[in-house]
Amino acid sequence: MLSRVVHNRLCSVIGALFAILVAAVLCACNGNDMNRGDDALRIGDFDRAVKNFSNVLDADPANRDARYGLAIAYYAIAEDKERLKVSSLESWERTVREFKILSVVDTSGKSKPMYSTSLFYLARAMLAQNAQAKVLPLLDKSIQLDPENYFSYNLKALILAGQGDTDEAKKIYAYIVTREPKFASAYVNLGNLYWNAHDYESAWDIWSMGHEALPQDAVLAKWTRIAEDSLKAMVYSGKL
């Protein structure tokens, strides 16, 4: 009887707790596709991630997390193609399209850096296919989305320099190395501009500055040494 009394009293409490447990389990079950997509992403099974996130979006097209997961999966697939040095233009177009949809449902702004990088890659892939492609608007949007995406700045400067606007390109490179002193390519490209303009002293200044900031960078080391040797030769020959 005592056990029955205790049992009766506990039953209601246990019942409530059990209901909470069931609710938690149900929530866990509902999130299965999301979880599976997330798991697949983190282990590199991007095609499966696309499938799982798509399942969630079929039921709930405005699901921000699923939309973000799908965009990330496309991003990773495109990036894999970059590594394999195969044409990635189509993949980046799809990725950028997905990020564009995501930007409508995502008010947090957390996806902007990756969207920005996708635009950089798209611009780069378009140029790889057609050197005359008009990609500056993409890069401007990329920079607008993430002002710390120096890859987009760097590519923009490179394109401007190729179009003859070396002054603007120099400003951008200078801006990059000021904000991100470890960005080796900006030093290399800025030094190149000076070198091509026969301003070997300025080229040496930039490369040596980069070499000082990145002593392990072989390219900067090489061109710093070449510039230094060239300057010495010029001094010895009386040209400087």
Partner 1 sequence: MKKSDKSLLDSVTGGVLLRQGGEASIYLLDIGGKHVALKWFKDGSSFDENIVEKASKVRVPGLYRIEEWGKRNGTLYLIYDYIDGVVSDKLGRIPVTVALMALRQVASTLAALRKQGVSHGDLNPANVIFSAADCDAAGREKSAGIELRAVLIDCGIVGPGALAYAAPERFQGKRADEKSDLFSLGLLLYRWIAGEDLITADGYESYAEQMANVQDLNISEKLYATGAFETPECAQQLSALEPLWSGLLCSDPSERVEDLDELDELLEIALGKVAQGEIALANAVSQYAKSINRSDDNRNAVRKVPNDMGRGLPFVVCKKNNWLKWAILGVLVLILALIVLLLSSGTMRFGIDATGDQLLKRSRNMEPSTESESTPVLKVDSLLMDLPVPVSE
Residue 182 DSSP code: T
> Could you tell me if residue 198 is left (phi over 0), alpha (psi between -120 and 50 degrees) or otherwise beta?
left
When the beta carbons of 1 and 236 are compared against partner 1, the nearer one is 1
Is residue 222 a contact residue for partner 1 (CB under 8 A)? Answer: yes
In this chain, which stretch among 18-26, 136-144, 170-178, 229-237 interacts with partner 1, using CB under 8 A? Answer: 18-26
Which listed residue (65, 168, 199, 228) binds partner 1 by CB under 8 A? 65
Residue 70 CA to its chain's centroid (Å)? 16
When the beta carbons of 3 and 237 are compared against partner 1, the nearer one is 3
Calculated CA dihedral for residues 34, 40, 44, 47, nearest 10 degrees: -80
Total number of residues shown for the chain = 240
Is residue 10 a contact residue for partner 1 (CB under 8 A)? Answer: yes
When the beta carbons of 14 and 235 are compared against partner 1, the nearer one is 14
Query: Restricting to residues 175-194, which ones interact with partner 1 according to CB under 8 A?
Result: 182-185, 188-189, 191-192
Convert 81-111 to b/e letters by CB count within 10 Å (16 or more is b).
Answer: beeeeeebbebbbbbbebbeebbeebeeeeb
CB of 69 to partner 1, least distance (A): 5
Distance between CA atoms of residues 132 and 26, nearest Å: 55
Closest CA to 114 of 126, 129, 103, 105: 103
Query: Restricting to residues 120-159, which ones interact with partner 1 according to CB under 8 A?
Result: 120-121, 124, 127-128, 131, 151, 154-155, 158-159
Query: Restricting to residues 196-215, which ones interact with partner 1 according to CB under 8 A?
Result: 196, 203, 214
Structure-token pair, residue 27: 């929530």
Distance between CA atoms of residues 152 and 199, nearest Å: 26
CB of 109 to partner 1, least distance (A): 11
Residue 117 CA to its chain's centroid (Å)? 4
When the beta carbons of 24 and 235 are compared against partner 1, the nearer one is 24
Is residue 34 a contact residue for partner 1 (CB under 8 A)? Answer: yes
CB of 138 to partner 1, least distance (A): 15
Helix, strand or coil, per DSSP, at residue 83:
helix
CB of 100 to partner 1, least distance (A): 16
If binding means CB under 8 A, how many residues of this protein chain bind partner 1? 71
Query: Restricting to residues 44-63, which ones interact with partner 1 according to CB under 8 A?
Result: none
CB of 68 to partner 1, least distance (A): 5
Whether the Cβ atoms of residue 106 and residue 76 lie closer than 8 Å to each other: no
CB of 8 to partner 1, least distance (A): 5
